[in-house]
Amino acid sequence: MSAPLDVERLYDEHAQALFAFLLNFTRHEADTRDLLQELFVKLAKRPELLDGVRDERAFLLRLAHNLAIDLIRRRGTRDKHYEQLAGDSIAVFVPAHEPDEGAFRKALSTALGELPPDQRAVVHLKLWEGLTFEQIAELLGIPLNTAASRYRYGLDKLRERLRPLYDEIK
């Protein structure tokens, strides 16, 4: 028998991280909202999913990733322009007050959108969730080496794309 689920606590502690991951992964705000709601509804329906879970954040991120993959697969058959949407510039970061920093964030957001989704997921989890490659590999269900190489390829692309802007800011 599982303990009653405290959905509010889960939301307050993890919604921000889940939102950022889903927004970066889907590059679509409405989809992010739908997925976030789907995730919490799923947890509310089946609170036993959290039984024995040691790292709530990692578990919820994995759940979010799986839901997002399902959504992309569903879309893939009938919505061919979904990948194009990912390339569009979407505000993933907080708008900056300084113009240079604002331009950098905008370029970073665009560059992230140009990464393949699997690289983008690894880069996000490494940079903005601070997970280790081992944790990322477990979360995404991929080998450790794959997680590391995806990060390296992704970061190389970002570096190449952002170098001029970064040199100006520095």
Partner 1 sequence: MNPDDLEKHLRSQPMRQVPPQWRTDILSAARQASPSEHAPRTTQHVPRSPSLFSTLLWPHPTAWAGLAAIWLLILGFNLATGPSAPLVAKRASPTAPQVLMAFQEQERLLSELLGPRETPVAERPKPAQPRPRSELRHRLLMA
- Point out which residues bind partner 1 (CB under 8 A): 4-5, 7-8, 11, 15-16, 19-20, 23-24, 33, 36-37, 40-41, 43-45, 47, 91-94, 105, 108, 127-128, 130, 155, 158-159, 162-163, 166-167, 169-170
Question: Taking Cα atoms as reference points, which of 74, 62, 60 lies closest to residue 31?
Answer: 74
- Residue 54 vs 97, nearer CB to partner 1: 97
- Residue 19 vs 82, nearer CB to partner 1: 19
CB of 58 to partner 1, least distance (A): 18
Dist CA 24 CA 106 (whole Å): 13
CB of 30 to partner 1, least distance (A): 11
* Distant-in-sequence, close-in-space partners of 69: CB < 8 Å, separation ≥ 6: none
CB of 53 to partner 1, least distance (A): 17
Q: Which two tokens stand for residue 42?
A: 């799923």
- 96 Rama class: left (phi>0) / alpha (psi -120 to 50) / beta: beta
- Residue 58 vs 162, nearer CB to partner 1: 162
Residue showing tokens 């921000």: 16
- Decide if 21 contacts 65 (C-beta within 8 A): yes
CB of 80 to partner 1, least distance (A): 27
Q: Which two tokens stand for residue 73?
A: 């697969």
- Residue 86 vs 158, nearer CB to partner 1: 158
